[in-house]
Amino acid sequence: MSKLGQTPSQTVGPYFAYGLTPTQYGYPLKSAAGPEVEGLAQAGGPRIRLEGCVLDGQGAVIEDAMLEIWQADAQGRYPGAPSGANSSFSGFARCGTGTAPDKSYRFETVKPGSTQAESAPHINMIVFSRGLLSHAYTRVYFEDEAVANESDPVLALVPEARRHTLIAKRMETDQGIVYRFDIKMQGDSETVFFDV
């Protein structure tokens, strides 16, 4: 049977903020999703902040990018999973890079648990920006999960020299645990992007 052709992706452009992240940017429309994952109180596990900058091929900070994250809760349960879902946890958040003084993104969430015995905890992420014609998928793994990362089947697909681009650095700050994950669109340490 012949299939319908997929509608092509197009760039999110420079002016997405009042449509997709209006509350964060101070526009008079309620965002469908903000930088804090909903249902954190019921998510279990340690609260974390995930933050970083998106950098272009010359190392300049991209001020008009938008990130989305999608993750399991602290027990490794995705919302909507066929068994054992956590119905009060949204698992999703969205943040633009135009509002923080350093033009970073900042997500408030929990550290996810492993979804499978052999897979390391991770957060799924999509990058959108002006100049990015198709959205780019990446994954955030955690520095303090070195043992689990060693046996993760997806990290194993990544050339060893590039794996570090997927590992967030852990920092203990007076505001709690922060994982730092910069995204390099190009260059020597270009972040690994996936064909999802």
Partner 1 sequence: MTDSLSPRDWASHPAYIDPGYKSTGLRGPKQPLIKLPLGLGETLGPRFGREHVFEKDADLTLNGRVNGEPQGERIIVTGRVLDEDGRAVPNTLVEIWQANAAGRYVHSKDQHDAPLDPNFFGAGRCATDDQGVYRFMTIKPGAYPWPNHFNAWRPNHIHLSLFGPSFGTRLVTQMYFPGDPLLPLDPIFLATPEVARDRLVADFAIDVTQEAYALGYRFDIVLRGRNATPMED
Nearest to 109 by CA among 181, 182, 36, 51: 36
Considering the rule CB under 8 A, would residue 80 count as an interface residue with partner 1? Answer: yes
Q: Which of 39, 70, 99, 178 binds partner 1 (CB under 8 A)?
A: 70
Nearest to 77 by CA among 121, 38, 107: 121
Considering the rule CB under 8 A, would residue 62 count as an interface residue with partner 1? Answer: yes
Nearest distance in Å: CB 37, partner 1: 10
Report whether 89 contacts 39 (CB < 8 A): yes
Nearer Cβ to partner 1 (158/177)? 158
Q: Which of 78, 141, 142, 181 binds partner 1 (CB under 8 A)?
A: 78
Nearest distance in Å: CB 185, partner 1: 5
Taking the CA of residue 96 as centre, how many other CA atoms within 13 Å lie in the half-sphere pointing to its CB? Answer: 23
Residues numbered 89-128 forming contacts with partner 1, rule: CB under 8 A:
90-92, 98, 115-116, 119, 122, 124, 126, 128
Distance between CA 45 and CA 34 in Å, rounded? 21
Nearest distance in Å: CB 174, partner 1: 31
Q: Which of 47, 103, 130, 180 binds partner 1 (CB under 8 A)?
A: 130
Residues numbered 37-56 forming contacts with partner 1, rule: CB under 8 A:
56
Report whether 106 contacts 46 (CB < 8 A): no
Considering the rule CB under 8 A, would residue 35 count as an interface residue with partner 1? Answer: no
Q: CA 68 → CA 142, 174, 175, distances in Å?
A: 17, 26, 22
